Amino acid sequence: MLGRIWVAIAYSPAMLASVMCNLYRMTSNAQAIAALFRADVAGRNLPALDEIYPDAEAPVVVNGSATRQLAMMRWGWPPFGDVKRPITNVRNLASPMWRSALADPAQRCLVPVTAFSEWSAAPDPVTGRKRKHWFDIAHDPLFAFAGLWRHTENGPRFAFLTCAPNTTVGRIHPKAMPVLLRPGEPCDRWLSVNGVDAAAMQLPLDDALMREITEPAPGARQASLF
């Protein structure tokens, strides 16, 4: 079992709206993860996860001893130094914090995702609150974030890479976007190459592949991919 005991971390709506890349959804299923990411899901089923926030448990694909494995982990790398909350996004790959994990394919992971959200830079003029904007990959109903993970005394935790945004995301959130991996060769490469080549994958996805989407109603499961 990969999950154990967790300490709840309080994330206020205002705090979440002020940070980047801290909300996504995974409304696909274990069978799609098994097929697209070539992972052993051990017969498990997954609920539709409409809104995954920091410190939530989420599915992650890792390199196993013989094959890739589907695991459940908490989102948020353990804090260190003056950092008080778990770290959800990885940007500075030159930092010693990430260097060893990036260099080891066994500590890289795929974070399955069907859409991710960025908060608007300015409040909505009608509501006075920042608004969530959702994005996905038009022809890939299931894709992945490029993730890193590690064991902790309370169980495994993960974070995922961010990069400078493309135009599609940047017009809403000009600071950053997640590093997105399409199924197939990009995912294979992320889980196998050396650290230098892995760092070179910290790039925004081509705008032609992405779109902003209308937010679906809560509880709407993605149609089966198979």
Residue whose structure tokens are 């608007």: 120
Instruction: Give pLDDT tens digits along the chain (226 positions).
Output: 333 333 334 444 444 444 568 999 999 999 999 999 999 999 999 999 999 999 999 999 999 989 999 999 999 998 877 778 889 999 999 998 899 999 999 999 999 999 999 988 788 888 888 889 999 999 999 999 999 999 999 999 999 999 999 999 999 999 999 999 999 999 999 999 999 999 999 999 999 999 999 865 445 555 555 4
Could you give the CA distance from residue 154 to residue 77 in angstroms, rounded to a whole number? 12
Please enumerate in sequence order all residues whose Cβ is within 8 A of that of 160, keeping only pairs 6 or more positions apart, or say none.
21, 88, 89, 90, 111, 145, 146, 147, 148, 178, 179
Residue whose structure tokens are 């196993």: 64
User: Which pairing describes strands 68-75 and 39-40: parallel, antiparallel, or unpaired?
Assistant: parallel
Could you give the CA distance from residue 62 to residue 4 in angstroms, rounded to a whole number? 18
Predicted pLDDT of residue 123: 82
Predicted pLDDT of residue 15: 44
Predicted pLDDT of residue 126: 85
Whole-prediction pTM: 0.87
Predicted pLDDT of residue 222: 58
Predicted pLDDT of residue 127: 85
DSSP H or E segment with residue 59? strand 57-63
Predicted pLDDT of residue 83: 77
